[in-house]
Structure 1
């Protein structure tokens, strides 16, 4: 299910009043890094989709501004697949698909691949690291990867801001450096992450447990 995306500049009103001398681009970058950690810990960004698999190469199952953090479950033509590491798949194996694996940040493949079919999958996503500029003619300095799901701004904005401030205020020898405040925000961020994880797990207590971690 697609979600609305928001630019990380939406976090600036929550960050810059407490770190006013920090450049906007740096605050946005650290907001994205905090969002990545939030997604890894909470598994709040769940993405369900159905795609057609036509070959053994990877097939996109998530937005190109996101990375798959974990495969929750997958079915190929209605039959459950086991998530595995790509390195464990035997290229010469034959037969009906038994496994699903991640081959790039947002792509999956099934193995063995015998014929085209339908893949139903649920994955937990996170924002991408890295940068890509000049994709917006009206804003050439916009980093295309500085985006997060809108619900993360609306519901978890304070959490993301706390994580960003914990890192920003701990950068040494900057006009805004404040180790004591950084430590306080770091504690707040960890507590909020724990609460988000517990809340998410309570909401998924009936969900399948077949998961595998892949970090790109």
Structure 2
């Protein structure tokens, strides 16, 4: 079930009573961006993608209002791919024109956040590629919705992050550097807990599994 960022307001308003809804949601979005970048907890799955012979680059399709942070897992059929930095692959193979393989073994994201396979596949494999990747809100996103467990499980921490950002503003009725420090510490403790949960979800010792997916669609 998807919820709006405005559904977090009952957690923020008791901390910052006089803040407007628009201001609160703006600072919540900033906190959520940091949370997603640091925890990789908001995941999207793309499955059934076609592997095309001679094609190494594949565009990912995050939902409107979201952006790709990084890929956390990928597989072609039953073969799990290994994440490898581009510069390591180029150093190992000397150039991108390395011999094509029947199926790729490695992947990375390029600077444009496109998903790259290496070596370049030599055979078509219809519907064989599955990619799990972490996403975050875009700064300019409006009417963003997220999965309800971000509210249910992490809402208190995210509200504290929004409150800390608001309380750092100078010259506002809610300005309070001391309270901002306390709220930011609570926010960071949530990030630590979420990072542990996220890192335990994907390990090289277990097969690729289907994950809960956040819609990211507008409300």
Paired with 2:21 and 2:50, the residues of 1 have a C-alpha distance of 41
* Contact 2:70-2:109 at 8 Å conserved across structures: no
Distance 2:156 2:83 in 1: 34
Could you say which residue in structure 1 is the equivalent of 2:178?
180
**TM-score, normalised via structure 1 length:** 0.73
**1:18 alignment partner, SS class:** coil
- 1:164-204 residue CA offsets vs partner (Å, 9 max, x unmatched): 11111111122321111111101111222223333444x43
Q: Is the 8 A contact 1:8 1:28 kept in 2?
A: yes
Mark the runs of 5 or more structure 1 residues left unpaired by the alignment: 133-142, 211-216
Determine if the alignment matches structure 1 residue 127 to structure 2 residue 136: yes
The answer (yes or no) to whether the contact 2:30–2:139 under 8 Å persists in 1 is no
| Corresponding residue number in structure 1 for 2:41 | 44
Alignment of 1:108-127 (within 5 A): 108-111=115-118, 112-117=120-125, 118-123=128-133, 125-127=134-136
Residues 60-104 of structure 1 show CA distances to partners (whole Å, capped at 9, x for unaligned) of 254343333332322224333222345665443341223222247
Aligned residues: 193
Residue pair 2:42, 2:136 contacting (<8 A) in 1 also: no
Give the TM-score, by structure 2 length: 0.72
What's 2:59 paired with? Answer: 59
The question of whether the paired residues in 2 share the 8 Å contact of 1:44 and 1:200 is answered with yes
How far apart, CA to CA, are the structure 1 residues paired with 2:205 and 2:162?
31
Instruction: Pick the structure with greater CA Rg.
Output: 2
Per the TM alignment, residue 209 of structure 1 is displaced from its structure 2 partner at its CA by 7.3
- Name the CA distance, whole Å, in 2 between partners of 1:84 and 1:5: 34
Give me the CA root mean square deviation.
2.9
In structure 1, the residue matched to 2:216 is none
Greater RCO (CA < 8 Å, at least 6 residues apart): 2
**Structure 2 gaps, min length 5:** 207-219
Q: Residues 130 and 40 (structure 1 numbering): CA distance in 2 closer, same or farther, change over 3 Å?
A: closer
Question: 8 Å contact 2:154–2:190 — kept in the other structure?
Answer: no
